[in-house]
């Protein structure tokens, strides 16, 4: 580096420092902080959130800072506090399940003016007033994926590769299965748990084993579905996507997929806050939930292998979701050990808190929930 | 296609197929480490080299459309890291294990830093030989898709064995590793021999990385290696510094990655965390049984870990 | 580090010494006498301060070049690092928070290294220590605050200690390479952790993040009063100083260093090499286990997959870079804590990838390791000999 450019560089640095010093002044912008557990470009869970963040950042009255690859340790507490203290953030979106307890709860009591919105299903009465939870009922989209998968499958066996048997994952598996069984009553879903959110080699092995066992549609609930979609393409089987549209990875066999639409949720929050609403005042609900109807999640376009009849069946189910008349967990439902989990005559609607504590796999799923 | 399930037969099939699909990264890294250690230095940083190879192979294949060019560049990226390691690890008073761990951090950080734009796009993969077409069973057809890189690796394992035993250069490498002062007295530049060994070993590890991103699992992500580079270093000691045994051990490790998922797919659902750890437990048990404090390990380079 | 300047930079060779290679003259440094020795000491001390600081400056320059190539302004990067890690009391606490577990993990490598053992099973010992503490903390609910803290610490130390001692014993009794055994034991410990928190120890109310039952709040270790820094930092500082004292100023430490210098000579001198090895390994593992205990008792409150967060691996490098000196570990851990603390600011202010902090660590550690080769190379630090 030449001396001249060194000199200009330091001049730039000096002006930058000055601007940093002044940028803390209150300029009426909504200052948001987003925290992800993995890299921003994982073509999966974190990327979906980062795209949501990019959408609100485009609004001229929003200032958003991001931090990626923040582990679920005291590191996230430090990151949140840094965003509050150093960047002046007043709204935080820590997006991983494991951030909630104890980290968010601890900081929330310490910073009662800051609003913490956690992605997951965990806020309940008695927890700090400035904490809220948001999540999408993506299992509605999974239900429809199940319909498409079961009708298109020849073997009527579907392979589901999942990270861990936690309620949100079990709910996706169950909804997928119930969707499949709504059109093909004898369809089965074989589950393989890999044990962690991102293990590419294990995921590929699981995909291969499932295909060897006769599954001809694969789907998954892991952080980065890319490897599974590629393996499906290599083995010449079909797949349904998760988190984002992965049709490019298996152009022939991609049927449809359940996608997040976080930009909708984040812009809702941004608008509420700009309008002066808050958790503390009770003008923003502590639990924000929505499915297809609310635009929190969506379906990928149908792939070339989906027949017109199947499209019609899937669209019919989607129409019911849009109208708000569909209930996935309508008794009687038995789990795969034969025990009744939703008795006849009972309906557990999407908002039912029972569903967020799910610890069973419905009949027709081959696998153990723990 | 035949949609029939093969249930319990699927487990041995999956392990065989897993060995064919998943052993190459272990093989390349362990051969590279074997060459490095034979010359008397350890390179614990090959996990970083593996990641760097995986990233650069994928990026080059994506940009150029030529997967084999990706393999070559991956090897060269490995060599670049190898040069740094060779230089630092041979400085007086500098410990090679410490440099290895620092290189692991540097290599993976560098690969992550440069690799983010290539996570989403699709790069052209490396084609495989389809040796299973005689069989009508799709499961076997798929299991017998063999990558040319695996075949090259197998040839290389035997070639390396021959190289150590029958060539002058092989003798130099062993001399540098077994008795550096005698080698110096013979006029061999121990420094140069080790540098070449480390750089060539890192080239192989880079190629192993290319296998990860271009063949199996066939994509670049930050966690694509998930510790395989470190395990391959363990494998060399397990294989007693014999390249042929590195091959067998790699096949074993590759196959064992399939055990957990295959058992679940066949319907056995419990204890998968412990099954996933099976290769580590197995290696440790075998090492405890076969090692001895009394005699020197056959094949172990004498100067290894002595700082000489 | 100051006393035996000739041997300090080289890792003791005891166990590493293979057949046929001469032993190092570890402790019999040839001294001059009187005043000359004094001035030599002083020069060596200056050298051991100037060289690492020089290395740090060089590594910052290299990192600046890297950032410039990546399109960021290096000066704004430096400012961010300073502001995020050391700029004021708030950010310095950030640094200390991150340094606390690393200190204890580094001792797990540094102590066995006195014998020439390269112990990298830190992560496993940390995890086992955390598990032990949770096991005790969640079952003995009738304990008073002090009883619970002591019991948890003892459980964590015993489990972590036994974990590393078993590796030492594999080396001692079966000749299994401790680097490889340590690596494998790490993977095994993490598998045990995952199995337990998803199975036998699973708290069903920990819905979407499988965890063990929590340690009651009343028995939490908490923070150092008046700060945000977890109490484990106090353990870390005390342990570092105690280890330094043990190795440098006690008979036991002297014996350990003799084993590290030349294991055959130590055997000939009648030293109980076996028990010294096992005790040192136990102590090292106990330190990492204590780190795990502090992590669950002061920070996480329960055991979950987050317990294996990489503190153990960070500790290995810190032990090497600080030349396995207890006091050195204090400073290097704080340095690494600062680097980790600056990662967020580099992302948020300079819009660099989150991987930049890994590159940063790599460059700093490689440069510091390189600087090891510079000791004795600068004329200014050498006494003029007549």
Instruction: Note the pLDDT of residue B181.
Output: 92
Q: How many CB atoms lie within 10 A of CB C128?
A: 30
Residue A239 phi, psi dihedral angles, 5° rounding: -155, 160
**Chain C residues lying within 8 Å of B302, measured CB to CB:** 18-21
Give chain C positions within 8 Å (CB) of A120.
Answer: 208
Beta-carbon separation of C180 and B233 below 8 A: yes
Compare C218 and C161 and report the one with higher pLDDT. C161
Quick check: B223 and A206 CB within 8 A? Answer: no
- pLDDT tens across C240-277, in order? 999 999 999 999 999 999 998 888 888 888 899 999 99
Could you tell me which chain A residue has the CA closest to the CA of C300? A102
User: Are B217 and A201 inside 8 Å of each other by CB?
Assistant: yes
Closest-CA distance of chain C to residue A272, Å = 25
A chain contacts of residue B17, beta-carbon cutoff 8 Å = 208, 212
Q: Given CB atoms, is B9 within the 8 Å cutoff of chain A? A: no
Return the ∠ at Cα C336 (arms to C334 and C338), rounded to 5°. 70
Instruction: Determine, for residues C347 and A68 on separate chains, whether the beta-carbon distance falls below 8 Å.
Output: yes
Backbone dihedral angles phi then psi of residue A330, each to the nearest 5 degrees:
-115, 120
Peptide bond into C134 cis (omega under 30): no
Q: B21: which chain A residues are within 8 Å (Cβ-Cβ)?
A: 204-205, 208
pLDDT band at C226 (very low <50, low <70, confident <90, very high): confident
The pLDDT of residue C35 is 61
Task: Provide the pLDDT for residue A16.
Answer: 42
H or E stretch including A30?
strand A30-35
Tens of pLDDT, residue by residue over C211-224, are 899 998 888 888 88
Least confident among A316-320, C35-39, C207-211: C35-39
> By C-alpha distance, which of C165, C170, C340, C152 is closest to C231?
C152
**8 Å CB contact between A166 and A349:** no
Burial of C192 per CB tally in 10 Å (0-12, 13-18, 19+): middle
Chain C residues lying within 8 Å of A370, measured CB to CB: 198-199, 202
| pLDDT at residue C11 greater than cutoff 60 | no
B260–A366: do the CB atoms touch at under 8 Å? no
How close does chain A come to B272, measured CA to CA in Å?
Answer: 7
> What pLDDT, on the 0 to 100 scale, is given for residue B227?
85
What pLDDT is stored for residue A101 in this prediction? Answer: 82
Of all residues in chain A, the percent with pLDDT exceeding 70 is 92
What value does the mean pLDDT of chain A take?
A: 89
- Quickly state the pLDDT bin for C22 (edges 50, 70, 90): very low
Are A35 and A80 spatial neighbours (Cβ–Cβ below 8 Å)?
A: yes
Section C314-328 average pLDDT: 88
Record the tokens describing residue B204, joined without a space.
Answer: 């192989």
Q: Which pLDDT tens digit goes with each residue over A181-190?
A: 999 999 999 9
Query: What is residue C217's predicted lDDT score, i.e. its pLDDT?
Result: 84
| For A171, nearest residue in chain C (alpha carbons) | C208
Say whether A167 and C79 touch across the interface (CB within 8 A): no
Q: Is the pLDDT of residue C375 over 80?
A: yes
Residue of A13, A81, A100 with shortest CB distance to C75: A13
Mean pLDDT of A340-348: 93
* Residue that has been written with the tokens 């013979």 in this structure: B186
d(CA C325, CA B252): 41
The chains found to touch B (3+ Cβ pairs under 8 angstroms) are A, C
User: Looking at chain C from residue 127 to 166, which residues have their Cβ under 8 Å from any Cβ of chain A?
Assistant: none
Instruction: Give residue C385's pLDDT.
Output: 54
User: Residues of B with CB below 8 A from C353's CB?
Assistant: 112-113, 116
Peptide bond into A102 cis (omega under 30): yes
Longest Cα–Cα distance of chain A, Å, equals 80
Q: Going residue by residue through chain B, which has 308 residues, state the pLDDT in tens, using 9 for 90 and above.
A: 334 455 667 788 888 998 999 999 999 999 999 999 999 999 999 999 999 999 999 999 999 999 999 999 999 999 999 999 999 999 988 888 889 989 999 999 999 999 999 999 999 999 999 888 888 888 888 888 899 999 999 999 999 999 999 999 999 999 999 999 999 999 999 999 999 999 999 999 999 999 999 999 999 999 998 889 988 888 898 888 999 999 999 999 899 888 888 888 887 777 788 888 888 888 889 888 887 776 556 677 888 777 66
Q: In sequence order, which ranges of chain C are alpha helices (DSSP H)?
A: 34-69, 74-85, 89-113, 122-139, 145-174, 178-198, 232-249, 251-261, 263-268, 273-294, 311-321, 326-350, 356-371
DSSP letter string over A35-98? Answer: E-SS-S-SSSHHHHHHHHHHHHHTSTTEEEEEE-S--SSHHHHHHHHHHHHTT--SEEEE-SGG
Query: Is C358's Cβ below 8 Å from some Cβ in A?
Result: no
pLDDT at B52: 97
Residue with tokens 């799923």: A365
Cβ-based contacts of B271 with chain C (< 8 Å): 195
How crowded is residue B66: how many other Cβ atoms within 10 Å of its Cβ? 13
How close, in Å, is residue A150 to chain B by CA atoms? 14
Chain A: closest CA distance from residue C173 (Å): 35
Q: How many CB atoms lie within 10 A of CB A285?
A: 14
The whole-number pLDDT of residue B298 equals: 66
Q: Is the pLDDT of residue A17 over 50?
A: no
Q: Select the residue from C208, C213, C232, C341 to test the A interface by mutation, using most A Cβ atoms within 10 A.
A: C208
Among chain A residues, the shortest Cα distance to C196 is held by A370
pLDDT at C189 > cutoff 50: yes
Out of B88, B97, B231, name the one closest to residue C370 (CB): B88
Residues, chain C, total? 386
Distance to chain A for C313, nearest Cα, Å: 15
Using the Cβ of C223 and the Cβ atoms of chain A, whether some distance falls under 8 Å is answered with no
Q: A102-139 burial string, b = 16+ CB within 10 Å, else e?
A: bbbbbbbeebeebbbbbbbbbbeeebbbbbbbbbbbbb
Q: Which of B19, B6, C337, C54 is nearest to A201 (CA)?
A: B19
DSSP string, chain B: ------GGGHHHHHHHHHHHHHSHHHHHHHHHHHHHHHTT---TTHHHHHHHHHHHHHHHHHHHS-HHHHHHHHHHHHHHHHHHHHHHHTSTT--HHHHHHHHHHHHHHHHHHHHGGGSSSPPPPPP-EETTTT-S-HHHHHHTEE-HHHHHHHHHHHHHHHHHHH-HHHHHHHHHHH-HHHHHHTT--HHHHHHHHHHHHHHHHHHHHHHHHHTSS-S--TTSSTTHHHHHHHHHHHTTT-HHHHHHHHHHHHHHTTHHHHHHHTT--S-HHHHHTHHHHHHHHHHHHH--SSSPPTT--TTTTS--
Partner-chain residue, chosen from B4, B258, B270, that has the shortest CB–CB distance to A209: B258
Report pLDDT for A3: 41
8 Å CB contact between B82 and B203: yes
For the segment C120-142, the average pLDDT, to the nearest whole number, is: 94
* pLDDT value of position A152: 97
What residues have CB less than 8 Å from C246, skipping those under 6 apart? C252, C253, C283
Q: Give the angle B202-B208-B214 at the CA atoms, nearest 5°.
A: 135
Verify cis geometry, omega within 30 degrees of 0, for the bond prior to B217.
yes
pLDDT confidence of residue A121: 67
Q: Show residues of chain B in contact with A210, CB under 8 Å.
A: 265
Tell me what pLDDT residue B143 has: 85
Could you tell me the two tokens for C294? 């502090």
Q: What is the pLDDT of residue B6?
A: 55
The nearest alpha carbon in chain C to A119 belongs to C208
- CA–CA dist A81, A262 (Å, integer): 24
> Does B217 contact A195 at a Cβ distance shorter than 8 Å?
no
Instruction: For C321, name the nearest residue in chain B, comparing CA atoms only.
Output: B98
Kindly list the residues from chain C whose CB atom is less than 8 angstroms away from the CB atom of residue B100. none
Residue A345 backbone class (left: φ over 0; alpha: ψ -120 to 50; beta: rest): left
pLDDT score, position A22: 39
Tell how strand A157-162 and strand A254-260 pair up. Answer: unpaired
CB contact under 8 A, A192 and B112: no
Least CA distance to A208: which residue of chain B?
A: B14
The pLDDT value given to residue A27: 67
For B106, nearest residue in chain C (alpha carbons): C362
Neighbours of chain C (3+ CB pairs under 8 A): A, B
pLDDT digits (tens, 9 = 90+) for A195-217: 888 899 999 999 999 999 899 99
Which pLDDT band, with edges at 50, 70 and 90, does C7 fall under? very low
What is the pLDDT, as a whole number, of residue C66?
94
Residue B277 or A313, more confident: A313
Q: What is the spatial distance between Cα C70 and Cα C287, in angstroms, rounded to a whole number?
A: 40
Shortest distance between the Cα of C73 and any Cα of chain A, in A, equals 7
pLDDT for residue A23: 42
Closest CA to B228 of B260, B261, B253: B253
Q: Provide the CB-side half-sphere exposure for A353 (13 A, CA).
A: 6
Quick: pLDDT tens for A89-101.
Answer: 999 999 998 898 8
Q: B308 vs C21: CB contact, 8 Å cut-off?
A: yes
B135 — contact with chain A (CB < 8 Å)?
no
Q: Is C299 on the interface with A (CB under 8 A)?
A: yes
Q: Cβ contacts (< 8 Å) between B101 and chain C: which residues?
A: 313, 316-317, 320, 365
- Assess whether pLDDT exceeds 90 at residue A4: no
Query: At which residue do the structure tokens 């060599």 appear?
Result: B79
- Taking the C-alpha atoms of residue A370 and residue C194, their distance in angstroms, rounded to an integer, is 12
pLDDT at residue B3, as a whole number: 40
């Amino acid at each position: 580096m030449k001396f001249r450019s060194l000199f200009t560089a330091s001049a730039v640095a000096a002006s930058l420092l000055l601007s940093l010093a002044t940028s803390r002044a209150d300029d009426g912008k909504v200052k948001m902080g987003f925290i992800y557990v993995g890299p921003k470009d994982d073509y999966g869970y974190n990327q979906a959130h980062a795209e949501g963040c990019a959408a609100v950042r485009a609004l001229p009255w929003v200032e958003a800072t991001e931090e990626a690859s923040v582990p679920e340790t005291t590191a996230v507490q430090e990151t949140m506090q840094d965003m509050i203290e150093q960047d002046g953030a007043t709204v935080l979106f820590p997006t991983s399940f494991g951030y909630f307890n104890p980290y968010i709860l601890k900081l929330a009591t310490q910073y009662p003016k800051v609003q913490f919105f956690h992605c997951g299903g965990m806020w309940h009465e008695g927890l700090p007033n400035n904490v809220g939870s948001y999540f999408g009922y993506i299992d509605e989209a999974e239900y429809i994926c199940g319909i498409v998968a079961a009708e298109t499958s020849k073997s009527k066996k579907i392979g589901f590769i999942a990270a861990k048997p936690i309620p949100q994952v079990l709910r996706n598996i169950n909804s997928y299965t119930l969707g499949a069984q709504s059109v093909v009553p004898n369809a089965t879903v074989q589950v393989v748990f890999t044990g962690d959110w991102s293990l590419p080699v294990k995921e590929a092995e699981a995909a291969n084993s499932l295909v060897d066992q006769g599954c001809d549609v694969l789907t998954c609930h892991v952080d980065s579905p890319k490897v599974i979609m590629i393996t499906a393409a290599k083995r010449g089987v079909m797949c349904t996507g998760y988190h984002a549209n992965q049709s490019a990875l298996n152009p022939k066999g991609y049927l449809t997929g359940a996608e997040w639409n976080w930009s909708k949720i984040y812009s809702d929050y941004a608008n509420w806050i700009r309008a002066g609403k808050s958790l503390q005042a009770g003008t923003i609900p502590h639990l924000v939930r929505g499915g297809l109807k609310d635009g929190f999640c969506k379906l990928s376009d149908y792939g070339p292998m989906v027949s017109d009849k199947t499209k019609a069946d899937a669209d019919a189910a989607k129409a019911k979701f849009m109208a708000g008349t569909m209930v996935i967990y309508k008794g009687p439902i038995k789990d795969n050990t034969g025990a009744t989990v939703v008795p006849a005559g009972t309906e557990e609607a999407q908002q039912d808190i029972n569903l967020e504590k799910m610890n069973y796999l419905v009949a027709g799923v081959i696998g153990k929930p723990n | 296609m035949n949609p029939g399930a093969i249930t319990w037969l699927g487990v041995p099939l999956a392990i065989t197929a897993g060995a064919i699909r998943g052993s190459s990264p272990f093989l390349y890294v362990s051969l590279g480490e074997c060459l490095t250690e034979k010359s008397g230095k350890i390179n614990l940083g090959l996990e970083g080299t593996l990641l760097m190879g995986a990233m650069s192979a994928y990026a080059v294949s994506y940009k150029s459309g030529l997967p084999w060019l990706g393999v070559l560049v991956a090897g060269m990226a490995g060599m670049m890291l190898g040069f740094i390691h060779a230089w630092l690890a041979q400085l007086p008073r500098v410990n090679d294990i410490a440099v290895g761990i620092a290189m692991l951090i540097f290599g993976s950080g560098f690969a992550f830093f440069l690799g983010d734009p290539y996570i989403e796009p699709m790069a052209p993969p490396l084609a495989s030989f389809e040796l299973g077409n005689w069989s009508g069973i799709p499961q076997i057809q798929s299991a017998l898709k063999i990558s040319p890189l695996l075949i090259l690796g197998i040839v290389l394992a035997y070639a390396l064995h021959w190289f150590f035993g029958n060539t002058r250069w092989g003798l130099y490498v062993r001399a540098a590793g077994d008795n550096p002062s005698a080698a110096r007295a013979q006029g061999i530049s121990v420094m140069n021999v080790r540098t070449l060994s480390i750089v060539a070993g890192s080239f192989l590890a880079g190629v192993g990385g290319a296998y990860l991103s271009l063949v199996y699992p066939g994509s670049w992500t930050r966690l694509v290696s998930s510790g395989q580079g470190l395990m391959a270093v363990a494998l060399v000691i397990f294989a007693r510094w014999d390249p042929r045994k590195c091959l067998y051990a790699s096949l074993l490790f590759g196959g064992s990655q399939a055990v957990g998922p295959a058992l679940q797919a066949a319907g056995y659902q419990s204890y998968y965390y412990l099954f996933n750890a099976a290769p580590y437990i197995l290696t440790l048990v075998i090492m405890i049984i076969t090692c001895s404090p009394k005699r020197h390990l056959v094949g172990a380079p004498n100067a290894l870990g002595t700082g000489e | 580090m100051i006393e035996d300047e000739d041997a300090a930079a080289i890792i003791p060779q005891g166990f590493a010494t293979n057949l046929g290679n001469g032993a190092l003259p570890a402790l019999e440094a040839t001294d001059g006498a009187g005043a000359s020795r004094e001035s030599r000491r002083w020069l060596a001390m200056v050298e051991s301060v100037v060289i690492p600081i020089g290395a740090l400056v060089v590594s910052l320059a290299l990192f600046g070049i890297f950032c410039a190539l990546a399109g960021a302004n290096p000066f704004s990067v430096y400012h961010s690092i300073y502001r995020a890690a050391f700029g004021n009391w708030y950010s310095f606490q950030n640094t200390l928070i991150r340094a606390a577990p690393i200190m204890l993990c580094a001792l797990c490598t540094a102590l066995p290294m006195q014998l020439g053992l390269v112990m990298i099973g830190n992560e496993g010992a940390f995890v086992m220590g955390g598990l032990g503490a949770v096991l005790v903390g969640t079952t003995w609910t009738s304990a008073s605050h002090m009883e619970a803290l002591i019991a948890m610490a003892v459980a964590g130390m015993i489990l972590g200690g036994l974990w590393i001692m078993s590796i030492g014993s594999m080396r001692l009794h079966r000749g299994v390479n401790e680097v490889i055994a340590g690596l494998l034991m790490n993977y095994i410990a993490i598998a045990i952790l995952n199995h337990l928190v998803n199975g036998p120890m699973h708290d069903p109310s920990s819905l979407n993040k499988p965890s063990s039952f929590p340690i009651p709040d009343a028995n939490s270790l908490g923070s150092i009063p008046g700060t945000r820094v977890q109490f484990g930092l106090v353990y870390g500082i005390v342990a570092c100083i105690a280890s330094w004292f043990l190795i440098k100023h006690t008979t036991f430490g002297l014996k350990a260093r003799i084993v590290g210098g030349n294991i055959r000579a130590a055997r000939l001198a009648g030293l109980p090499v076996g028990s010294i090895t096992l005790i040192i390994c136990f102590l090292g593992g106990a330190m990492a286990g204590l780190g795990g205990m502090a992590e669950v008792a002061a920070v996480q409150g329960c055991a979950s997959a987050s317990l294996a967060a990489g503190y153990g691996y960070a500790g290995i490098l810190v032990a090497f870079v600080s030349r396995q000196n207890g006091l050195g570990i204090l400073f290097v851990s704080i340095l690494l804590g600062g680097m980790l603390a600056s990662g967020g600011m580099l992302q948020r202010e300079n819009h660099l990838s989150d991987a930049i902090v890994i590159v940063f660590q790599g460059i700093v550690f490689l440069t510091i390791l390189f600087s090891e080769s510079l000791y004795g190379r600068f004329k200014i630090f050498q006494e003029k000999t007549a």
